[in-house]
Amino acid sequence: MRYLHETIKLIKSGELSPEEHLEDIISGLDKDKEINSFITLDLDGARERVKNINPSGELYGAVVGLKDNINYKGLKTTCASKMLENFESVYNADCAENIESEGGVVIGKLNMDEFAMGSSNETSYFGPVKNPIDHTLVPGGSSGGSAAATKMGFVDVAVGTDTGGSIRQPGSFCSVVGFKPTYGLVSRYGVTSLANTFDSVGSFGRCVEDAYILLRAMAKDTPNDMTKISADMPEMKTSIEEDINDLKGKKIAILSHLKDFDLAPEVKESYDKSLKILEKAGVEIVEAEFEHLDYAVATYYAIIDSEASSNLSRFDGIRYAGIKSDVKNFSDYMKEVRTAGFSDEVKRRILLGMYIMSSDLRETYYDKALIIREKIAEDYDRIFKNADAILTPTATTLPFKLGSQVKNPRQMMEGDLLTVAINLAGIPGINVPSTSENVINAGMQFLGKKKSDYNLARIARAYEGLVK
């Protein structure tokens, strides 16, 4: 299975045509019956689009899958929900538009947890995604379809969204690279929001270089998103094609707090091994205190559930799902059609958000959470004054059995301990597999300060070279 950067070189040299590459990809899609990574495939559309792609684009000939909360004109955007089962987008999200302008070919929409609420991809109305390495395990979520399709080679690269770990954790569980950029680096225009102040559009690839190529292509400036930060950073225009193995002089921080966490033995073993590999390569390991990490999960859920309850209030089950009812009382009618359109997990999140934002509780929960959010950002700022990056495991466990945790929301939330904090602070993070072997393994997460995405990619690429 070729990497994307290798495929692009073959296409640009004339040794392989974009049409041939697309058909190679399509020939393997019958295997998705076992994985369920796609909600919508648009093979005929892809075959038409590939005829007129930009030959000078950075993604020339790349076959790309979009998470199904990202709008693409003419295709359904279901958010893996019954509520939007038949909703067809009338425009392209900015990230999809940028992909096409750079010569990429969108092949379809990828499965996810309903409205991006979940960490296992088991809450999808269209059925769970299976882990591509071991079909009895979850692929992680909410971008499980994107991670699984990338691992299987159903796409060259895939787009996901990360609100609290939804790119990095499935990247870890499926053993692919998952890159969550600085908040606002990629426009959110055309992406169905879970939580507006957290959501980040990012990339999956089978190596760091591929994920970075896609990220850079999507990061173009746009007037459509007020939270978009400028991508006009000189370093973002630089490729990381060269093999960067020299990490000498880099300072990588480890969190002293981490030793108190309940890490699975396999995760701790991989983490300790990674630190030894980095030290041998000349990296200086520095210990850092993260004062407010214990509050990260509670703070995160207090804020995102509040934002989610507001965002999802637009979906009434009448306009979108076409649900009908004979109930005459308007209040009961609205209750019935919304209940029919949303799953239990989504309803639980909406109710929690409404509870937190109620007039007598907002100050107790939401307002305090905003204060802690600022403190967490300050913790990161302090650590990065003496470190080029932070290294932690991406998840506290290896992927778990399908069906084993979906009825235990608290346990699922606790699994987000190492991923949610960076979304609170808006900094970039990238998951890199800790081995090149095709086995279930613990991914490692490199974190950087805001707008350090390029430098973070270089560090991750160097680590990747050491563990291959």
Q: CA angle, 320 as apex, 316 and 196 as ends, to 5°?
A: 70
Report the DSSP pairing between strands 251-255 and 200-205: unpaired
Cα R_g (the chain), whole angstroms: 21
Nearest 5°: phi and psi at 345?
-65, -45
Of the residues 81, 166, 343, 452, only one is catalytic, namely 166
Of the residues 37, 67, 76, 343, only one is catalytic, namely 67
| Residue 204: strand, helix, or coil | strand
| Residue 50: strand, helix, or coil | helix
Establish whether 452 is a catalytic residue: no
Establish whether 343 is a catalytic residue: no
d(CA 38, CA 166): 17
d(CA 164, CA 167): 9
Residue 445 contacts residue 418 (beta carbons within 8 Å): yes
Instruction: State the amino acid at position 46 in one-letter form.
Output: A
DSSP secondary structure string for all residues of 264-314 = -HHHHHHHHHHHHHHHHTTPEEEEE--TTGGGHHHHHHHHHHHHHHHHGGG
Task: Return the bridge partners of 200, or none.
Answer: 162
Q: What is the DSSP letter of 29?
A: G
d(CA 192, CA 203): 17
Establish whether 142 is a catalytic residue: yes
> Given CA atoms 365, 143, 110, 61 in this order, what sign does their dihedral have?
positive
Of the residues 89, 120, 142, 143, only one is catalytic, namely 142
| Residue 258: strand, helix, or coil | helix
Which residues are known catalytic residues? 67, 142, 166
